[in-house]
């Protein structure tokens, strides 16, 4: 896991090396172990690798500040978090054996061992124990098609010096981030937006449409469309690659999630899912640094913890990585509440004899660290729940663990968010009325959701597509919370967002949307920034592309079954995970007591927005104060209040970036 940056002056002008250095330093938290640069002069056909203050002296690289008098039109910057081959041999930017290809790479290719064994008979020789070198050889052998062979998470830039061609690529699900800015004079990319915006990059300017959708509905910019909260900054969509050559930029999709269902016998499906999940966890234990696991008490994270424990007992996973006892990390609270998973976590700890590491998120800590959290996240977020994960990551770093396995992705791929009306609607559309009724009754038994309303919502989904689209658009407009917006701002954006409301005709399409658009990409962003803020690599076994593909094809009929969400996972882990966990009917995750916290926070600071309000362009502060006063006395939806607070903090950080961001960075 690392931080990467690059810039190519397409107009032939010299890249600003001081800006290159500052942008790379901004990413230091992502890679505190090493630092490297590559300077390229295309007219002179000259390449110069160089270093900085954190570069290992044994590499004997010239310092970047000694080259400021020379002109280079292309440059890479790199910060390393050493995971595989901790020696200086893993330094980046890294070159192919013949010097033609150069790469800066953030992520992990988990099947690098198998790819290396495939490439060696083809004549490739390896001099490091890194997956980075495997990418270079794979590209030399298969070109752009090498991406199809990778099992992992990645965001990398690869420079072909002979062809003067830049390739940037991102993994199938966007586990690793990659952003870029582009105009007719230059192309720049980075792991985080903060390396592209500010004195060393483009000027900060908020994207008003994104802010409108965030304030009115709590939605975030579209990952497939590459949208962000910043004008002029785009995200390379998950599963895409882009090339820059001869002043031409081309983007292509390299992977698509299939909606093709392949019926299979249930016993075979359960066994194959278990085998794939086992191998996914096994691959993600490859590291030369200590590994831990995240444990929230639900079936997703508990399955990972129990599977790691099983592999330790059956396959002898090296003690150097795991320790004599597996280290788990959890957020819990002193008080009893629906957000406190302590009793479920304790059951898993007892079953596995794993070591517990608890953090206790508090409002006091949130108030102290909220600006650091917002700075690291780059963009506004929907609730304070990610602060619990932030606290967990700080504990991971404190305990000296560098790699953390986590359970993101199971809900989105296996129907974990209770999309019952969509499932029942599918069954009715297929004339499976008996099964639909039986499933509705089972859902009521497991969840308490009444059969009648469930079936009515399922029947409503049988309306013509044009009708449902119209109904959803009306619902979208009705739910828009515009009462606290500045009237001019609200009226300028209303027509720009109405046509973006979509409807999903079936369960598979709905889950694909969760994976690619509305849920998973944002959760992955939160986790990437939270983990990298503390120099932690987060790995997500449920997003092994083989497992996801299997869930959408062979296991499609067994994702939701007999009233259970994620049924195939539960069945596969029955006997491995304690039964009271694997067949839990409730689930929370790493949450916070947000309503209580906001109420107390507003009591301590009645006006969190201060006297010089930056969000007044978007919010009518008189209306905000009235809404807050009403909420503190009568209650109601707290989510808009957090969004108003978050927006103000975000604007303060980005509109006054220099001293504030420097202070935040020094505190990491």
Asked if the model's pLDDT at residue 240 lies above 90, the reply is: yes
Q: Which pLDDT band holds residue 336 (cuts at 50, 70, 90)?
A: low
Mean pLDDT of 387-401: 97
Q: What is the DSSP string of 37-68?
A: EEEEETTTTEEEEEB-TTS-GGG-PPBGGGGT
Chain-centre distance for alpha carbon 157: 19
Residue 601: partners with Cβ closer than 8 Å, 6 or more residues away: 363, 367, 608
Q: What is the pLDDT of residues 121-158, one digit of tens each?
A: 999 999 999 999 999 999 999 999 999 999 999 999 99
At residue 135, the pLDDT reads 98
Please give the helix or strand (H or E) that residue 405 lies within, else none.
Answer: strand 403-405
User: Residue 619 pLDDT more than 80?
Assistant: yes
CB 220, CB 209: distance < 8 Å = no
Q: Is 460 left (phi over 0), alpha (psi -120 to 50) or beta?
A: alpha
**CATH superfamily ID and name for 266-414+519-582:** HUPs (3.40.50.620)
Q: What is the pLDDT of residue 657?
A: 56
Task: Kindly give, in sequence order, each residue whose CB lies less than 8 Å from that of residue 118, ignoring residues fewer than 6 positions away.
Answer: none
Give residue 664's pLDDT: 38
- Per-residue pLDDT at 605 exceeds 90: no
Is residue 665 predicted with pLDDT exceeding 80? no
Q: Which pLDDT tens digit goes with each residue over 549-575? A: 999 999 999 999 999 999 999 999 999
Question: How many other CB atoms sit within 10 Å of the CB of residue 607?
Answer: 12
Does the pLDDT of residue 656 top 80, yes or no?
no
Q: In the predicted model, is pLDDT for residue 611 greater than 50?
A: yes
- Could you list the beta-strand ranges (E) of 484-607: 537-539
Run of H or E residues at 303: helix 299-315
Rg (CA), the chain: 25
* Whole-number Å distance between alpha carbons of 63 and 50: 6
Poorest-confidence range of 159-168, 254-263, 381-390?
254-263
Which pLDDT belongs to residue 88?
A: 96
Query: Distance between CA 5 and CA 3 in Å, rounded?
Result: 7
User: Residue 421 — pLDDT band, cuts 50, 70, 90?
Assistant: very high
Asked if residue 466 has pLDDT above 90, the reply is no
Q: Which of 166-180, 338-352, 353-367 has the lowest mean pLDDT?
A: 338-352
Q: What is the mean pLDDT of residues 477-488?
A: 82
- Reported as a pLDDT band with limits 50, 70 and 90, residue 1 is confident
Run of H or E residues at 622: helix 621-634
- pLDDT score for 117: 97
The band of 3, judged by pLDDT with boundaries at 50, 70 and 90, is very high
Q: Which residue has the tokens 């010096």?
A: 161
pLDDT of residue 562: 95
Q: Which residues contact 429 (CB under 8 A, 6 or more apart)?
A: 461, 462, 506
Q: For residue range 85-117, what is the model confidence (pLDDT) as tens digits?
A: 999 999 999 999 999 999 999 999 999 999 999
Q: Which two tokens stand for residue 363?
A: 């409002």
Q: What is the mean pLDDT of residues 49-61?
A: 97
Say if residue 502's pLDDT is above 60.
no
Cα–Cα distances in Å, from 279 out to 305, 472, 494, 534, 548? 14, 41, 48, 28, 13
Mean of pLDDT values over 612-640:
91
Residue 120: predicted pLDDT? 97
Which band of pLDDT confidence, cut at 50, 70 and 90, is reported for residue 314? confident
Count of residues in the chain: 668
234 confidence band (pLDDT: 50, 70, 90): very high
pLDDT at res. 589:
61
Closest CA to 156 of 141, 139, 402: 139
Share of the chain above pLDDT 90, in %: 81
Cis upstream peptide for 342 (omega within 30°): no
In this prediction, residue 337 carries a pLDDT of 65
CATH architecture of 2-110+153-253: 4-Layer Sandwich (3.60)
Q: How far apart are the first and last CA of the chain?
A: 17
568 and 275 Cβ atoms separated by less than 8 Å: no
| Per-residue pLDDT at 323 | 79
Write phi, then psi, for 637 (nearest 5 degrees). Answer: -75, 120
pLDDT tier for residue 515 given thresholds of 50, 70 and 90: very high
Burial of 433 (0-12, 13-18, 19+ CB in 10 A): exposed
Q: What is the pLDDT of residue 493?
A: 86
pLDDT band at 497 (very low <50, low <70, confident <90, very high): low
Which tens digit of pLDDT belongs to each residue from 424-435? 999 999 999 999
Alpha-carbon gap, residue 74 to 621, rounded angstroms? 46
Q: Is the pLDDT of residue 663 over 60?
A: no
Report the 3 state secondary structure along 426-480: HHHHCCCHHHHHHHHHHHHHHHCCCHHHHHHHHHHCCCCHHHHHHHHHHHHHHHC
Which of 433, 489, 425, 416 shows the shortest CA–CA distance to 454?
425
User: Is the per-residue pLDDT at 590 higher than 70?
Assistant: no
Binned at pLDDT 50, 70 and 90, residue 591 comes out as confident
Q: What is the mean pLDDT of the chain?
A: 92
Distance separating alpha carbons of residues 511 and 552, to the nearest angstrom: 9
Q: How far apart are CA 464 and CA 333, in angstroms?
A: 48
Q: What pLDDT is stored for residue 586 in this prediction?
A: 77
What is the residue extent of each domain of the chain?
Answer: 2-110+153-253, 266-414+519-582, 420-467, 594-666
* pLDDT at 354 > cutoff 80: yes
Average of per-residue pLDDT across 350-362: 95
User: Among 330-339, 346-355, 414-423, 616-625, where is mean pLDDT lowest?
Assistant: 330-339
β-pair partners for 405: 293, 539
Q: Which residue has the tokens 């915006």?
A: 197
Q: Which residue has the higher pLDDT, 494 or 637?
A: 637
What distance in Å separates the CA atoms of residue 399 and residue 330, rounded to the nearest whole number?
A: 13
Instruction: Kindly state the average pLDDT of the residues 532-536.
Output: 97
d(CA 414, CA 407): 12
């Amino acid at each position: 896991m690392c931080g990467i940056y690059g810039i190519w002056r397409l107009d032939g002008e010299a890249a600003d090396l001081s800006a290159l250095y500052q942008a790379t330093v901004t990413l230091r938290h992502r890679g505190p172990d090493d630092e490297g640069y590559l300077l390229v002069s295309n007219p002179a056909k000259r390449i110069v690798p160089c270093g900085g203050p954190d570069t290992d002296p044994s590499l004997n690289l010239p310092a970047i500040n000694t080259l400021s008098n020379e002109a280079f039109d292309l440059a890479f910057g790199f910060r390393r978090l050493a995971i595989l081959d901790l020696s200086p041999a893993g330094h980046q930017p890294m070159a192919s054996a013949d010097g033609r290809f150069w790469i800066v790479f953030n992520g992990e290719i988990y099947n690098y061992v198998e790819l290396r064994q495939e490439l060696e008979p083809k004549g490739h020789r390896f001099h490091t124990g890194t997956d980075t070198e495997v990418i270079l050889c794979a590209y030399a052998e298969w070109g752009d098609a090498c991406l199809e062979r990778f099992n992992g998470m990645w965001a990398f830039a690869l420079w072909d010096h002979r062809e003067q061609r830049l390739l940037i690529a991102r993994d199938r699900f966007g586990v690793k981030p990659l952003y870029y800015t582009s105009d007719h004079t230059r192309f720049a990319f980075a792991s985080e937006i903060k390396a592209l915006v500010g004195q060393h990059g483009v000027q900060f300017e908020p994207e008003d449409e994104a802010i409108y959708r965030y304030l009115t509905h709590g939605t975030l910019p579209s990952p497939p469309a590459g949208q962000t909260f910043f004008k002029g900054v785009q995200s390379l969509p998950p599963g895409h690659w882009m090339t820059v050559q001869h002043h031409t930029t081309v983007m292509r999709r390299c992977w698509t999630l299939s909606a093709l269902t392949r019926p299979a016998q249930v016993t075979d499906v359960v066994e194959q899912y278990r085998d794939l999940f086992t191998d996914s966890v096994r691959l993600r234990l490859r590291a030369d640094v200590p590994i831990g696991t995240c444990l929230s008490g639900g079936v997703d994270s508990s399955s990972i913890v129990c599977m790691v424990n099983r592999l330790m007992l059956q396959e002898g996973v090296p003690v150097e990585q795991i320790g004599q006892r597996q280290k788990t990390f959890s957020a819990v609270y002193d008080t009893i509440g629906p957000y406190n998973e302590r009793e479920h976590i304790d059951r898993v700890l007892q079953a596995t004899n794993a070591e517990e590491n608890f953090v206790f998120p508090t409002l006091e800590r949130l108030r102290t660290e909220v600006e650091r959290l917002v700075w690291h996240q780059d963009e506004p977020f929907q609730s304070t729940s990610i602060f619990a994960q932030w606290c967990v990551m700080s504990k991971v770093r404190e305990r000296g663990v560098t790699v953390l396995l986590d359970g993101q992705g199971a809900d989105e791929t296996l129907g974990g968010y209770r999309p019952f009306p969509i499932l029942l609607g599918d069954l009715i559309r297929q004339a499976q009325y008996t099964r639909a009724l039986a499933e509705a009754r089972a859902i009521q038994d497991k969840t308490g959701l009444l059969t009648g309303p469930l079936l009515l919502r399922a029947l409503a989904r049988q309306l013509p597509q044009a009708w449902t689209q119209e109904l959803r658009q009306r619902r979208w407009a009705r739910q828009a919370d515009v009462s606290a917006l500045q009237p001019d701002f609200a009226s300028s954006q209303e027509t720009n967002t109405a046509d973006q409301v979509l409807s999903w005709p079936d369960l598979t399409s709905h889950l694909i949307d969760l994976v690619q658009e509305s849920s998973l990409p944002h959760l992955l962003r939160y986790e990437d920034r939270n983990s990298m803020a503390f120099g932690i690599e987060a790995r997500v076994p449920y997003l092994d592309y083989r497992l996801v593909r299997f869930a959408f094809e062979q296991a499609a009929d067994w994702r939701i079954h007999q009233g259970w969400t994620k049924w195939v996972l539960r069945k596969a882990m029955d006997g491995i995970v304690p039964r009271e966990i694997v067949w839990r009917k409730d689930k929370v995750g790493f949450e916070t007591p947000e309503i209580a916290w906001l109420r107390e926070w507003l009591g301590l600071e009645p006006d969190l927005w201060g006297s010089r309000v930056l969000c007044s362009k978007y919010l009518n502060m008189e209306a905000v104060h009235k809404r807050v006063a009403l909420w503190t006395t009568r209650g109601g939806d707290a989510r808009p209040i957090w969004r108003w607070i978050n927006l103000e903090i975000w604007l303060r950080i980005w509109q006054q970036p220099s001293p504030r961001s420097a202070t935040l960075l020094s505190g990491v």
